Structure 1
Amino acid sequence: MEKQIYIKKGNDEIELFSFEKLKKSLKSAGASKDVIETIILGIQPNLYDGMSSNEIYKKAFAILKKHNKICASRYSLKRALFDLGPTGFPFERLVAALLKEKGYITKVSVILDGACVTHEIDVLAEKDVNVYAIECKFHSDAKGSSNVKVPLYINSRFLDIQQQWNTNSNKKTHLKQGWLVTNTRFSEDAINYAKCVGLTLLSWNYPKNNGLKANIDSMALYPVTTLTTLTRKEKHQLIEKDVVLVKELLNASNTMKNIGLSEKRIHHVLDEIKKLCNVTQHNA
């Protein structure tokens, strides 16, 4: 019988460590049964009460990277989203790209007049003459979450913009709904309030099987921070040049040269991107 170990999660909560949960996340990244078993055997002897989930992740990632770099890239997605910071702008770009892939026309950082005051909207998305105002709440670590105050605030802003937009006879579109997107999680009260007022929520794993992770995986819209062939410094240099998605690097060899990558390393990066974006999809 496996010994019960309690670990400390990124948000400081204590929970019982689950091998099944670890196996599921590794399988979701595309790891084979044999590799998963190797990782479990590698981690098991080093587990102890109070161990952080981040420590376990690092050990699992290191073993996975030795066996399959592409699976390691996919396994790192949650941390890779945190690494998009410190500002929230790259995350907004990622959200806009996800919506564009679903057929929306998107704009990032748009100033709109409300009935009472002016607002800056992170992402404005249009589809079938309906417009959606999207607020992105980026957190650079797992401790950040959105309680009920956040959707309360976002919905009040949306209603102010909606009143102005939909009474303007010059507008040919209808401002239909407000959205709130975060890379961490929402409290139960936040979810209940959003359901009640018709505000769409999107977080790492909400709605179930259709959260950020599921959408990024299904569309292969990975951020550059997932790449194992780039250093942390190089990833941030690319983000500073407004390269946020790995797919954008397929046609950005000059940008990689500009940050000091050799032809050989560029070849390795492009090889990883092609494999990552065409990797066999697995259910999250």
Structure 2
Amino acid sequence: MDDTNINVIKYSGKKVKFSTSKLYASLKRTGAEDAIVNQIIDKVRDELYQGISTKEIYNRAFALLKKKERHFASKYKLKKAIYELGPTGFPFERFVAAVFKYAGYSVEVGKILNGKCVTHEIDVTATKNKETIIVECKFHGEQGFNCNVKVPLYINSRYLDVKAHWDTNNQTESKLIEGWVVTNTRFTEDALKFGNCCGLHLLSWDYPKGDGLKDKIDRLGLYPITVSTLLTNREKEFLLNRNVVLCREVIEDVFYLDHLGISNIRKDRILNEIKQLCNSKNH
């Protein structure tokens, strides 16, 4: 079958042509060798049919990769793992705070800041070198939902209100320099246009190109615990409820796994998986 003529249904319901190169690129991102990637692509192509969903293609590729190398499979499911941080969005805020923390910022989550007109609860406040940025996180629990122009419009007005108060009542030594919007999905064209025009910093799954959320996660090795292929959903929930969001945090404090009451053999396997994952970050 000529796979170039296969129509694939995306999460949004849009029809696109199947792309071998896109599947290849997403598998290569995990660090898997060409031989493994090509084997998986051959198997997936054999199972294609008209109207197959991107979800089915992903699930098949994930299952095949998991059989070969678990930590590669964990990297492959990164996007899905971010959605699994839900449903409240609070673990996503903690996750975003961790990204800034590991980039050298001191961070606070859920801080109340005064504006000129009203007070605002800010998702993440991050300070480095006496410069502060405030970050609003927009989390969607399902694929196919993008951030429209209303989001940066609203967040920009909050940022300006906080800045007006900050600049005239500055008891702190730091300067408020930037407002950020971070989402686990994508921005619409208008949202990008407005955000860039008014000076907001926009960070989404794949924006800015080459420095989006997925790039930062890979570069810093900041994988959420939801990427683990060995932890059960109940165990992931237990850890998230205790504000353990990163695989790194489990490595640093192994006692979190002791609380789960799991066997030493299983504990070693879980630790081995996440250590391999954190050490296989892209440079």
- Which bin holds the TM-score, normalised by the shorter protein? over 0.9
Q: How does 1:216-231 map to 2 (within 5 A)?
A: 216-231=217-232
Partner amino acid, structure 2, of 1:72: A
Partner amino acid, structure 2, of 1:236: E
Aligned to 1:260: 261
Aligned to 1:196: 197
Q: How many residues align?
A: 282
Partner amino acid, structure 1, of 2:144: K
1:122 matched to 2:123: yes
What CA distance in whole angstroms lies between the structure 2 residues aligned with 1:97 and 1:229? 23
What CA distance in whole angstroms lies between the structure 1 residues aligned with 2:3 and 2:155? 46
Aligned to 2:166: 165
- 1:148-176 per-residue CA deviation (whole Å, 9 max, x = no partner) reads 01000000011001101111142322111
Aligned to 1:277: 278
Aligned to 2:8: 7
Instruction: Give, in angstroms, the shift of residue 237 of structure 1.
Output: 1.4
Instruction: Give, in angstroms, the shift of residue 147 of structure 1.
Output: 0.6
Task: Assess if the C-alpha contact under 8 Å between 1:253 and 1:266 holds in 2.
Answer: no
- The answer for unaligned runs of 5 or more in structure 2 is none
What CA distance in whole angstroms lies between the structure 2 residues aligned with 1:102 and 1:150? 25
Instruction: Give, in angstroms, the shift of residue 12 of structure 1.
Output: 2.1
What CA distance in whole angstroms lies between the structure 1 residues aligned with 2:179 and 2:129? 16
Q: RMSD across aligned C-alpha pairs, in angstroms?
A: 1.2
The DSSP-based 3-state class of the residue aligned with 2:5 is: coil
Instruction: Give, in angstroms, the shift of residue 81 of structure 1.
Output: 0.2
Task: Assess if the C-alpha contact under 8 Å between 1:135 and 1:181 holds in 2.
Answer: yes
- The answer for unaligned runs of 5 or more in structure 1 is none
Partner amino acid, structure 1, of 2:221: A
The DSSP-based 3-state class of the residue aligned with 2:179 is: strand
What CA distance in whole angstroms lies between the structure 2 residues aligned with 1:2 and 1:231? 35
Segments ≥4 residues shifted beyond 3 Å:
none
The DSSP-based 3-state class of the residue aligned with 2:177 is: strand
Task: Assess if the C-alpha contact under 8 Å between 2:135 and 2:180 holds in 1.
Answer: yes
1:236 matched to 2:229: no
TM-score by length of 2: 0.96
What CA distance in whole angstroms lies between the structure 2 residues aligned with 1:253 and 1:131? 33
What CA distance in whole angstroms lies between the structure 2 residues aligned with 1:145 and 1:203? 10
Instruction: Give, in angstroms, the shift of residue 216 of structure 1.
Output: 0.2
TM-score by length of 1: 0.96
The DSSP-based 3-state class of the residue aligned with 1:170 is: coil
Aligned to 1:215: 216
